[in-house]
Amino acid sequence: MSGAFENFGADFSHLPDGARMECGVCWRVYDPAVGDDYWQIPPGTPFSALPDHWTCPNCDTPRERFVRLENPQEEAQRQRVTAFYERVARESMADVPICNDALSVEVVDIQPWRDGWLLVLLTPWCLNLLYLPEDQDGADWQNFRDGDKASYLFPAGRYSFVKQDLDGLGRSQTCSLVSPMGLFADQDGARLTAQAILAALNDPANGETEDQGTPLFEQTKPQEESAPAPVDRRQFLRGKFQSATSESA
């Protein structure tokens, strides 16, 4: 068996889309970037999206017995970002009214992307995509100026990121997805929404989405007592979720 691993059992709901999974019997690795020719699974299919009948193509072991292969670089970035934003939450955002006290800092997903890492960052005050460099000499990080914008193409369309150089974190680029966070009653609900948005961004069916220079959702109405309706991925990316919420209030 190779490297460190994490056992997910039968619950893959928190598994990042890019996670590589290893069979606990024969050590065969499922890599989402490659897919699975035996089961005719196309490249780009996350382990969590495999059909229920899928088994190890080498030894027929059910997917519940697969374990995640941890990437030391990913884990280091996750811990670094979490520690930085937990400090921001304590020292700078503790008394800010827009913060949702039911939420905490969490890196929901991290994937290798372009010249570095793409993270989905959940905090009590925002839900962002966060792009970090692996090599600060890469094309996306040259002529870097605080406050400049860069536009990147996802399967669902182009989205704008703002460049920033933060003391304690260094260079990064952020794309605002949700702010403020009063919509969410708890961490689980916010996490599920973050996962749904990431899946929608990587879905070519949403490809008619135009370039987004502002948050995909801005809450303007107070949170109601009842739980909000489930987020429709396509409507969310097209900016229709806010109007639908207002009509139902």
pTM: 0.66
Q: In this predicted structure, what is the pLDDT of residue 205?
A: 80
3-state secondary structure of 242: helix
Q: Which of 165, 162, 166, 171 is nearest to 213 (CA)?
A: 162
Q: In this predicted structure, what is the pLDDT of residue 88?
A: 97
Check: CB of residue 183 under 8 Å from CB of residue 173. no
3-state secondary structure of 85: helix
Query: pLDDT tens digit string along 30-69?
Result: 999 899 999 999 998 999 899 999 999 999 999 999 988 8
pLDDT greater than 50 at residue 241: no
